[in-house]
Each structure stands twice: as C-alpha cells, then as structure tokens.
Amino acid sequence: MPKAGITYGPRIQAPNYAQIEEAAEQEVLKVLGLRRPEDLVAARPDGLVVKAWGIVEQADAEIALHLDERDQALAHLWFYEQRLGLSKTAGLTNMGYRSALARLMFGDKQHPLPVASSNTELVQAAEEKGIERVAGAEGKLLKAAPIVYAARARRELAVRFMQEAVLALSEEPYGWTPDQIAEHVGVHRDLIYKQRAAARKRHGL
C-alpha cells in the first residue's frame, strides 16, 4: 500500500512459504496415514474423518494463539515503522493483509483502512485507534506468521480430506446419515451437512 509522501523503511525478507506449505502437507498426510493424496481412495473413511477433524481443531487452536501476535506486529511495522512488502513477509495476499489490519483496527476485516499521506498521519491514525507499539515487531512477525500460515495450510488440506471422508461415509457401502457421522466425529451435524455439500459440489453431484 505505498503512498506518495511517505518514506518507507527496508523490506523484511519473507520466510520460504512454499517450503512451509509443502511441509504442512506432508505433516497432514503422515497424521492421516497416507503416503500421498491419491492414497485417500484406499483409506477407511470412518477413521480418516476423525483424524482429519483432529488436525482442523489443532490448527484452529494454533491460529487463535498466534493470529493477534502476527497482526499486532504487522500493524506496528506498517503504521509506526512504515515498512514495505509486509504482505509477502506475512504470507498474505494484499487483500488478506488489508483485512488483517482492518480486523485489528476496527474489528471488521471489510472496513476501509485510514488514508494517510505522510508518516506522521500513519502514526496518528494508529494512535487514534489504540494500535499498540510492539517491541521487536520484526522478530515477532517472522515467528508468528509462519506458524499461522502452516496451521492454515494444514487446516485447508485436512478439511478437504474430511469432506471426502464424509461423502464416502454418506454413500454405499456405509450409508451413514449426517447425524451418525456427527456423533462418530463428535461435532454438530450442521458441520457434517456443510462438509458433505462442499464435497458434492466439488464432484459435480
């Protein structure tokens, strides 16, 4: 979000997010007992759905633990140090980066960010919204961002495997109802309906 009239500090080199994503995929496959994604067709869906949900829950817990730390460091570096390239440093798209700052500032990721035409105005905007200064923000960002990125990568993949398992359990030879699957996994049946619908849509059913 560079603007004319603002002097920016140096960019922060981004972690290797492609490598982090690859490692996250391998971790999910290991937990699920699969050597590669194609092995899903031979896996028992009743066991797979439980393991996949466990990965989702763990990922959600990690994201909840580190998301604010990441976003607070991001906000400090943007508003108080005016560093460029922070979206890449955090492993976010430009839209995701804006959403993270808006969520922290306004409690609404869709809220427009304040417009500033100088370094002083950026600082004032942050101070008015109570954005805290973060000591060692660069280090904290480089620590928290990869954790959140990896957790989200694991979660995304695990959800897809869970959806496939739910769909398989819904069909023959299993023929389980959403209520039966929900009880087996230990979740509300609305989640199972949602996962089954997503799998059906992906398969054009």
Q: Which of 182 and 205 is assigned the larger pLDDT?
A: 182
Indicate the SS3 state at residue 83. Answer: strand
pLDDT above 90: residue 6: no
Threshold 0.75, pTM exceeds:
yes
Q: What is the pLDDT of residue 116?
A: 85
pLDDT for residue 171 = 94
Unique residue bearing structure tokens 């509300």:
188
Q: What is the pLDDT of residues 47-88, one digit of tens each?
A: 999 999 999 999 999 999 999 999 999 999 999 999 989 999
Question: Residue 175 carries which DSSP code?
Answer: -
Asked if residue 165 lies in contact with residue 45, where contact means CB atoms within 8 angstroms, the answer is yes
| Sequence-ordered list of residues with C-beta below 8 angstroms from that of 59, at least 6 positions apart, any chain | 151, 152, 154, 155, 158
Is pLDDT at 4 greater than 70 in this prediction? no
pLDDT, tens digit, 9 for 90 and up, residues 86-114: 999 999 999 999 999 999 999 999 999 98
Instruction: Please write the tens of the pLDDT for every residue from 161-203.
Output: 999 999 999 999 999 999 999 999 999 999 999 999 999 999 9
Residue-level pLDDT at 19: 98
pLDDT in tens, 21-41: 999 999 999 999 998 888 787
112-139 mean pLDDT: 93
According to the model, what pLDDT value does residue 43 have?
83
| Spatial separation of the C-alpha atoms in residues 138 and 106, rounded to whole Å | 23
Confidence at 8, pLDDT banded by 50, 70, 90: confident
What are the contacts of 39-46 at 24+ separation with CB within 8 A? 40/161, 40/164, 43/165, 45/164, 45/165, 45/166, 45/168, 45/169, 45/174, 46/165, 46/169, 46/174, 46/184
Q: What is the pLDDT of residue 36?
A: 83
